[in-house]
Amino acid sequence: MDDLARELIIDRYQNPQHKGRLDPHDLGYEDDNPLCGDHIRIELRVDENDVVTEAVFDGHGCSISQASADLLVEKIIGKPLAEVRAITKDDVLESLGIELGPVRLKCALLSLKVLKGGVYGLEAGQASDELL
Amino acid sequence: MQTLNIEALKRDFPILAREVHEGIPLVYLDSAATSQKPAGVLDAMDTYYRRYNANIHRGVHKLAEEATGAYESARERISRFVNANQAREIIFTRNATEAINLVAYSWGRKNLTKGDLVILTEMEHHSNLVPWYILAEERGIELAYVPVTPEGLLDLDTYRMLLERKPKLAAFTHMSNVLGTINPVREMIAAAHAAGALALIDGAQAVPHLPVDIQELDADFYAFSSHKMCGPTGLGILYGKERLLEAMPPFMGGGDMIKRVELGRFTVNDLPHKFEAGTPAIAEVIGLGAAVEYLAEIGMEAIHAHERQLIQYALERLEEVPGVWVFGPEASQKGGVAAFTFDGVHPHDVAEILDGNGIAVRAGHHCAMPLHQKFNITATARASFYLYNDHRDVDVLIEGLYKVRKVFGKNDKPQGQAHG
């Protein structure tokens, strides 16, 4: 991993900008990465035009899972849900700025899986990798 | 006892000569997950495929005779290596997990009914938990767990109390794959027998690292794994006392486990074939035969002594690194396993940064989630040692951990030369 990307990730991990809870919230979803125990919860407030007005994440795990969640949540604030649904895994990897092997890819994409589970209004545990 | 010449031993393992990144040699500290393989094991398997590959037990041609001979003589060697009473008590399975499942499905289904108690411990690998959970769901048997103390030892007082409830079976690990704890299995087996229970031991971490004498332990069932003891993957071993195995129904049906089949019925074959349905892992058994020969020649006492002083050194050095917390008992009570957390850094990040220095450690829950829950952690990083590791490998690990601190912005004074 190149040093600059790693610096960004570690900075976001140690000083997340969007970590917390929203009470009340309009959409909320959470999931784990069973391989390593990463956990992410994302909560959103959405206005009457289906635009995300506020978004936060909460959770624990490795630097990549947590930094990815922080960057993802930042990216969707102010966006209509239609655009949020269109976010791809390449978008997430691009904002992290690193190449990942298959194991760490799961860490990086957990937040996107959780976000999609929330915006598609799935039941707990129903979000799958096919959403990515 | 002779001390090992580690430099020479390292040369027996071709993989240890490779670089993992340009100019960065491999420092392999993940032997609790799987060990590396000496050239002799690779050659034995290669020779089987190149010279006498044939199916066993049925053919009468030359190759089949040679293959059958090599397969059964490997069983003899493996049986002697753990001092089983006789080779027919050694059953080959796919892995240690399948060996435990064999007991749960065959012995368990025949002998356990609703309300029967099976004692397990909190330090078990999932492979010695889930088969019993499945049986509990199916049969309504009760499971009880021996707690782990904060020092990482089994709470033997509670074990004795549980034995008073007349369990049918006590199933526990010989050595924890996370804490490294070596349990007093001989005493625990004797206590189980005194209470009228059988004892099943998960020896996947013990047989590779300690001298194990199954008759002396008086284990009823003892499961272990080829690939953690210099042998190939795809092969596990179940030892069972002859009279128990004789009384058990077959586990899987198919070829080789039968004496005679007619339409609608079959007669079961003799031990050990009764539990080895279908073509077994012939090359792998031959490979493990070579592995136990290799280990026996070096001497398990010598290997154990080497690992004991290595873990002692590793624990001392790990203690120096600020923010590192090692789980498990002190060196005198454990094998060569050090699972640790790192303040403010997730184990995956630790493992990834160490990988940059060529160091292979494992990060995660190591298939022991209940144990991690007990200590209120989701994951640990784990360094585990084997006969081919030395003080220099520990020093490289410690240097790597200081690099982790640096990457995560924890400022240390410049480190002096690593000692050792």
Contacts of B404 in chain A (CB under 8 A): none
Helix or strand holding residue A3 (H, E): helix A3-14
The domain spans of chain A are: 3-120
Q: Is the same domain home to B338 and B282?
A: no
Residue ranges of alpha helices (H) inside B300-417 are: 300-320, 347-356, 369-374, 391-407
In a domain, B412, yes or no: no
- Would you say residue B415 has pLDDT above 70? no
* Minimal-distance CA residue of chain B relative to A36: B364
* Longest CA pairwise span in chain A (Å): 42
pLDDT band at B350 (very low <50, low <70, confident <90, very high): very high
- Would you say residue B339 has pLDDT above 80? yes
Q: Is the same domain home to B154 and B64?
A: yes
Question: Which domain range does residue B212 map to?
Answer: 41-297
Q: Residue B16's domain is classified under what CATH number?
A: 3.90.1150.10
pLDDT, tens digit, for every residue of B102-150? 999 999 999 999 999 999 999 999 999 999 999 999 999 999 999 999 9
Give the pLDDT confidence score for residue B417 in this predicted structure.
Answer: 44
Q: Is the same domain home to B317 and B282?
A: no
In a domain, B52, yes or no: yes
Give the pLDDT confidence score for residue B128 in this predicted structure.
Answer: 98
Please provide the size of chain B in residues.
420
Q: Residue B221's domain is classified under what CATH number?
A: 3.40.640.10
If one counts the domains in chain B, the total is 2
Q: Is the same domain home to B192 and B225?
A: yes
Tell me whether 0.85 is exceeded by the ipTM: no
Give the pLDDT confidence score for residue A103 in this predicted structure.
Answer: 80
B230 tagged catalytic: no
Q: Is the same domain home to B214 and B129?
A: yes
In a domain, B236, yes or no: yes
**Considering chain B, what percentage of its residues have pLDDT values greater than 90?**
92
Q: Is the same domain home to B286 and B325?
A: no
pLDDT band at B178 (very low <50, low <70, confident <90, very high): very high
The residue type at B135: L
pLDDT band at A101 (very low <50, low <70, confident <90, very high): confident
In a domain, B102, yes or no: yes
Q: Is the same domain home to B364 and B285?
A: no
- Tokens representing B8 are 């020479």
pLDDT band at B302 (very low <50, low <70, confident <90, very high): very high
Query: What average pLDDT does the segment B240-263 reach?
Result: 94
Mean residue pLDDT across chain A = 90
Q: Is the same domain home to B284 and B303?
A: no
Contacts of B372 in chain A (CB under 8 A): 37
pLDDT, tens digit, for every residue of A28-75? 999 988 777 789 999 999 999 999 999 999 999 999 999 999 999 999
The closest CB to that of A37, out of B345, B365, B409, belongs to B365
Contacts of A10 in chain B (CB under 8 A): 407-409
Please provide the size of chain A in residues.
132
* Residue at which a domain ends, from B260, B280, B297: B297
Q: Is the same domain home to B269 and B360?
A: no
The top-level CATH class assigned to A3-120 is: alpha beta
Give the pLDDT confidence score for residue B1 in this predicted structure.
Answer: 55
Give the pLDDT confidence score for residue B418 in this predicted structure.
Answer: 43
Catalytic residue among B156, B367, B377, B407: B367
How many Cβ pairs closer than 8 A exist between chain A and B?
39
Give the pLDDT confidence score for residue B209 in this predicted structure.
Answer: 98
In a domain, B154, yes or no: yes
* Residue at which a domain ends, from B297, B331, B354: B297
- Residue closest to A83 by CA, chosen among A56, A46, A58, A122: A46
In a domain, B330, yes or no: yes
Interfacial residues of A (vs B; Cβ cutoff 8 Å): 1, 6, 10, 14, 35-37, 39, 60-64, 104, 107
Helix, coil or strand: residue A94: helix
- Would you say residue B59 has pLDDT above 90? no
Give pTM, 2 decimals: 0.92
